[in-house]
Amino acid sequence: MQKWIFFVLFILAGALGLGVLFQDISDRQVAKEAEAAAGKSQQLKIAASNWQFDSADYTVKSGEPTKVSLSLKEGVHAIEIQGLDIKLDKENPSKQVTFDKPGTYEIICVLPCGEGHAKMKSKLVVS
């Protein structure tokens, strides 16, 4: 009698273990697919240092998903892309967006960062 109970418990434990193993593999595949899809989207990386951005202008294609990210190389900054309702700062350094309207937009620092703050501007060209 005990042999049958142990046999049934052994079979159940094996089935449970296989279920967990296959679920983990499935979760990994979903994560890889999501990562690959995110890798296909374009990226807009904006680096801010004291009173300047790393580029005078940036270009992205309209209609494509884009990850916009802000990195702080020097000082503390927050940016706004005027006319697009995109604001990034230390607490929210990136945002996934799709630029629908082609045009030229101004990128400005919206956190007073010192004597050159007023000149801290750049352009975003959406083509």
Residue 68 pLDDT greater than 80, yes or no? yes
Task: Report the mean per-residue pLDDT for the chain.
Answer: 85
Alpha helices in the chain (DSSP H): 2-40
Query: Tokens for 46?
Result: 């904006």
What pLDDT does 75 receive?
A: 87
SS3 120: coil
Phi, psi torsion values for 16, nearest 5 degrees: -65, -45
What pLDDT does 11 receive?
A: 84
Digit-coded pLDDT (tens) for 86-117 = 999 999 999 999 999 999 999 999 988 888 88
Rounded-to-integer distance, Cα 81 and Cα 124, Å: 8
For the chain, what is the radius of gyration of the CA atoms?
A: 25
Share of the chain above pLDDT 90, in %: 53
Stretch 42-71: mean pLDDT = 93
Pair 99, 62: CB distance under 8 Å: yes
Residue 39 pLDDT greater than 60, yes or no? no
Banded pLDDT at 3 (limits 50, 70, 90) = confident
Arch. (CATH architecture) of 41-126:
Sandwich (2.60)
No. of helices (H) and no. of strands (E), the chain: 1, 9
Strands (E), 27-78: 42-49, 52-53, 57-60, 65-72
How do the domains of the chain map onto residue ranges?
A: 1-40, 41-126
